[in-house]
Structure 1
Amino acid sequence: MLIQRAVLLDGTPADIRVGARIVDVADRLVPRPGEDVYDAAGGTVLPGLHDHHLHIRAAAAAMTSVHVGPEVVRNLDDLRRLLTGAPVGADGWIRAVGYHDAGAGELDRGVLDAAGPPVPVRVQHRSGVLWAVNSAGLQRLGLPGHPDGRLRSADISWSAALPRTEPDLAQFSNRLSGYGVTGLTDATPDLGAADAAVMAEARRRGDLRQGVHLLAPGKRILHDDGLDLDELTRWVGDRHAENVPVALHCVTAAQLIVALAALRSAGRHPADRIEHAATVPDDAVAELAAAGVTVVTQPNFVAERGDQYLVDVPAAQHHELWRVATLTRAGVPVALSTDAPFGDADPWAAMRAAVHRRTPGGAVLGPRERISAQAALTMFLGTAQAPLSPRRVCPDAPADLCVLSEPPATVLGELDAGLVAATVLAGELVLDRG
């Protein structure tokens, strides 16, 4: 295929010939006999975006789950209305996602028994670390005597009892193609060979078009009530001994401090990562930089949850939330991601959040953490193995491309997924909005 009349991000006009990889890039290329031609009409062509941290199957499942976030659940009556009207899935469960305690308070089996229908119901907290399950659900899981029905996501002792139904990966993959996303890093913990096989089969069938990299077995979620520096140091050392980099999930200051101490004691792998770094105290910035560890963060949560942060987080700590500019100024390698389904899967919305830092109500949260549009876009252009090395549109590079309908100045000014006109994966046009 030949892409004509394109403009690269640096403003260079270019025609681009692609096969499985980029064959040629020049000011003008003549179509070959029988060659498909795509007219970019002066629009921008980028390397396809890479989402550096999301959860593929959970995001696909969320597309058919009932959403019970604080924007729709403001009290117990709202929760009761949504659960009562929710369809029961083919697995016999009502699955709800995105809940926050600001809606109807802390959920447990008793609250769900009163609020929902008498069928198995499970509701995921928007943090992703906890599920609340009603009595019918606990009975189905073989846990009828569980005291409160609050179950941690990472505890496979209960989740293994759930029916193994695969979500519609094709629907989610098509959504990502609409954003110009061509690569994914799945940060779900405890993924094994069987999960990798499922992903590989989905890609073989064409249901999952994007390239996929799994962080497991080096992903570890830290919890404040279970922080054990000695044990974590041993675990990090064991992974490094196997030449496996670690990815430590840190959303609180305590988790970050313990993670950095473990990395300092165990030594580092060049591909070690801190996931989220939702809260970075001022006195941890220099240590993060010294650790040489990559931070993969999600400033989209400022745009999605910022008003709640203004209520829940002391004002003196607002500047510590979802930092980007401070980290990059200190020399910390930073890449961006969406954390879908816990964040919106649109990477362009995440870029805008990094640039503007506006909450849903219009307040600016952490103005000193704002970065340029070009920097935000670049943080989605790395690869799974090298998130800080932005790819280029050049010969012999993978032919995974995002074609936008406008020139670079407009793209950077708007950072809007609506500008994505086409997505190319391995030289094949998988999205064409005409």
Structure 2
Amino acid sequence: MSSSPSSGGWSTVSTDPLLIRGALVDGVRLDCRAADGRIVALAPGLTTDPGDRILEARGGALLPGLQDHHVHVLAAAATRVSLDLAGGPLPTPIEGSDAADAADRGWLRVVGLGDDDVTRADLDAVWPSRPVRAQHRSGALWVLNSAATAELTEHLTDEERRTGRLWRERGRVAGAAERLTLVAQLAHLGRELAGWGVTGLTDATPDLDAATLEFVRSSVPQRVWSLGAVATDLPRKVVVTDHDDDTWERLRTGVLAARDEGRAVALHAVSRTALALAVAVLGEVGVVPGDRVEHAAVCDDATADRLAELGVVVVTQPSIPARRGRALLEAVDPEDRPWLWRMGGLRARGVDVVLSSDAPYGDPNPWTSIALSSGGLPEAGSPWLADETWDARSALGSYLTAPALPAGPERRVGVGAPADLCLLDGPLDEVLARVAGGGTTAPVRATVIGGRLVAQ
């Protein structure tokens, strides 16, 4: 077994041949041989060679490995040792004490905070001793308690020391001790994703540097691409805020900087105002192939028509509204409610829509997103109903496209293609019917990355 570079980073490539017998490839029952990281033969009745590792497909569909086009890998891994408030308020002091005692006395990471106005003092009331950092459910805000503020004081502004509130400054609250913990957590996350057939990840953390990206790539079996500052052929992530006086100029400067690097942009827009700014800047600067909008969480018909006219892809996450449910409706202005987290409605107006997870803020399991996007949510907890759904096969297609072309053609299982494969536990139509009907969100029999069996 050896390691070799790919456009998605360093992926372990198996030099040992793997023979997958009796798989359905585009509906035809075939055998598939992988060697040196690629598919080298695809035909019925392939002869078993000495040294072949045999994987019996038993009539399961063989697909290209699934690609998650928007995920925050480090944050998703860290969530495995976090307290998830699921969009709710802080726990009571007694509940917080119990949560702290359940783990060690080191840093506690709290995610999914639903209260917009929490300060350092509020965290101190719950966790007076151990250092705690709490992340708002939007991902944009961190709040530190006094113990955490004391440990990080030299990195904070006077206002941040006073309130404990930091906007989009994850790098300043992550220390060397967290890095050691993350090695094990990243490995766990990688195994979990492999169990769902995921072989590729597009990390959407805007300030991810080269060293951190290589750390992530060395810690998970998946191939990892980045929308961050590292030179790449993928778009550059630019966050569109709507609470700063200089938003327009900073957004325009960010887009132009990406253009100077020869890159498209991935514009993070979660409010009606942010999306309007994103569309306006792209209209002024001009659109290039690969430009995309992340989330488009509030998108009316007029804006959808403009996105379609510009040819801008929307990368969205149905599991986010599924998680927040009725609380999402109550938190937004009434006039925005018909336009929340749209999928089918955008596609009907000509917008290319791609699914992803945005884990840890959304569910990392792609089959959950496929089920939600094709089956919808219960009316009592849903910001969108059946008119926003689409068929399960089209939803699956989001995960079969290339990282640089999320709305492009699907990758295929064929001779010469990378041996990054997802083997399902039955024929494709049967599996999708079970997923869409709520019968399963774990239909994967085995996952292969670089010709190496990483999950079975």
Query: TM-score scaled by structure 2?
Result: 0.86
**Gap change, CA 1:29 and 1:315, over 3 Å in 2:** farther
1:253 counterpart = 2:272? yes
Distance, in Å, in 2 between the alignment partners of 1:359 and 1:190 is: 37
Q: CA deviation at 1:84?
A: 3.8
Q: CA deviation at 1:326?
A: 2.1
Match of 1:216 among 218, 228, 248: 228
1:153 counterpart = 2:168? yes
Question: What pairs up with 1:96-175 in 2 under 5 angstroms?
Answer: 96-101=110-115, 106-142=117-153, 143=156, 146-154=161-169, 156=171, 158-159=172-173, 165-166=179-180, 167=182, 168=184, 169-175=186-192
Match of 1:177 among 190, 194, 205: 194
Aligned to 2:444: 420
Q: CA deviation at 1:396?
A: 1.1
Q: CA deviation at 1:141?
A: 1.2
Where in structure 2 are there 5+ consecutive unaligned residues?
1-17, 230-235
**Gap change, CA 1:364 and 1:233, over 3 Å in 2:** closer
After superposing on structure 2, the runs of 4+ consecutive aligned residues of structure 1 that deviate more than 4 Å are 160-164, 359-364
Distance, in Å, in 1 between the alignment partners of 2:331 and 2:381 is: 17
Aligned to 2:429: 409
Which of the pair is proportionally richer in strand?
2
Residues 153 and 159, structure 1, Cα contact 8 Å, conserved in 2:
no
Question: What pairs up with 1:294-333 in 2 under 5 angstroms?
Answer: 294-314=313-333, 316-333=335-352
Q: What secondary structure does 1:393 align onto?
A: coil
Q: 1:202-228: per-residue Cα shift (whole Å, max 9, x none)?
A: 1xxxx3110010111221222210262
Distance, in Å, in 1 between the alignment partners of 2:145 and 2:90 is: 20
Aligned to 1:356: 375
**Gap change, CA 1:63 and 1:361, over 3 Å in 2:** farther
Q: Which amino acid aligns with 1:147?
A: R
Query: TM-score scaled by structure 1?
Result: 0.90
Q: 1:373-425: per-residue Cα shift (whole Å, max 9, x none)?
A: 00110111112112122111111111111111122222111223422111011
Match of 1:14 among 30, 54, 68: 30
Aligned to 2:250: 231
Q: What secondary structure does 2:200 align onto?
A: strand
Residues 248 and 273, structure 1, Cα contact 8 Å, conserved in 2:
yes
Q: What secondary structure does 1:249 align onto?
A: strand
Question: What pairs up with 1:32-43 in 2 under 5 angstroms?
Answer: 32-43=49-60
Q: CA deviation at 1:70?
A: 4.4
Q: What secondary structure does 1:274 align onto?
A: strand
Q: What secondary structure does 1:418 align onto?
A: coil
Aligned to 1:275: 294
Where in structure 1 are there 5+ consecutive unaligned residues?
none
Mean Cα deviation higher: 355-364 or 33-42: 355-364
Aligned to 1:291: 310
**Gap change, CA 1:294 and 1:70, over 3 Å in 2:** closer
Distance, in Å, in 2 between the alignment partners of 1:220 and 1:248 is: 5
Q: CA deviation at 1:315?
A: 5.2
Residues 400 and 411, structure 2, Cα contact 8 Å, conserved in 1:
yes
1:31 counterpart = 2:55? no
Q: CA deviation at 1:25?
A: 1.9
Residues 15 and 28, structure 1, Cα contact 8 Å, conserved in 2:
yes
Question: % of aligned pairs identical?
Answer: 39
**Gap change, CA 1:160 and 1:114, over 3 Å in 2:** closer
Q: Which amino acid aligns with 2:45?
A: R
Distance, in Å, in 1 between the alignment partners of 2:421 and 2:55 is: 13
Residues 93 and 127, structure 2, Cα contact 8 Å, conserved in 1:
no
**Gap change, CA 1:82 and 1:348, over 3 Å in 2:** farther
Q: How many residues align?
A: 419
Distance, in Å, in 1 between the alignment partners of 2:152 and 2:175 is: 6
Q: CA deviation at 1:165?
A: 2.0
Distance, in Å, in 2 between the alignment partners of 1:74 and 1:117 is: 14
Distance, in Å, in 1 between the alignment partners of 2:188 and 2:100 is: 26
